Amino acid sequence: MPPKPTDAMPSVSHTCGCASALSSRSYVKPLLIEVTGLSVDAVPLVLALFGTGMVVGNLIGARLADKWLMRTIGVVLAWSALVLAAIPFTAPHPAAICANVFLLGTLVAIGPALQIRLMDTAGHAQTLAAALNHSAFNTANALGAWLGGAAIAAGLGWTSTGWVGVLLAFGGLAVFGASMALRRRMQARGQAHA
């Protein structure tokens, strides 16, 4: 079965969605020390909050994806933009940034939904699709850290990684929206020909 134009959406959305979180996650330690004023000894405790958020995000994301697959992808991308936009505002306040780091971990909720969507569209090439999903994650890992680092190197400060993440999340939402519009057009065309 030939691939449909919407079949690439999960990997592109995965790349944008994960890169958005990783643009900030990659620089949490210097943010906590330089902006929040926490000691180096406190950083592992805050990162444990990130890990806890990841567990919660995976559990919630998987349950939501089982019930509302496509809606979950869109909602988590929008949630990503919201959580990342809060970073510049929460960074100066220890309690607020700790909560924000926990919420940053919850952004992995997009993973189960995109994995399910990718398997649904892969047809007989599910092994290849799974490999593509991992490639998308690794690309996101490098892209997010690089773009966040570029913003910092440009003198925009440690909190600028939050805005980089917001732009990437909006990129994921744009791909998702375009894919949904294309999918609706293809369905309407199929019904017209039936």
pLDDT digits (tens, 9 = 90+) for 95-143: 999 999 999 999 999 888 888 888 887 788 888 877 877 788 888 889 9
Which residues in the chain come in under a pLDDT of 70? 1-15, 17, 194
Q: Look at residue 3 in the predicted model and tell me its pLDDT.
A: 46
Rounded Cα distance between 40 and 92, Å, is 16
Superfamily of domain covering 8-193: MFS general substrate transporter like domains (1.20.1250.20)
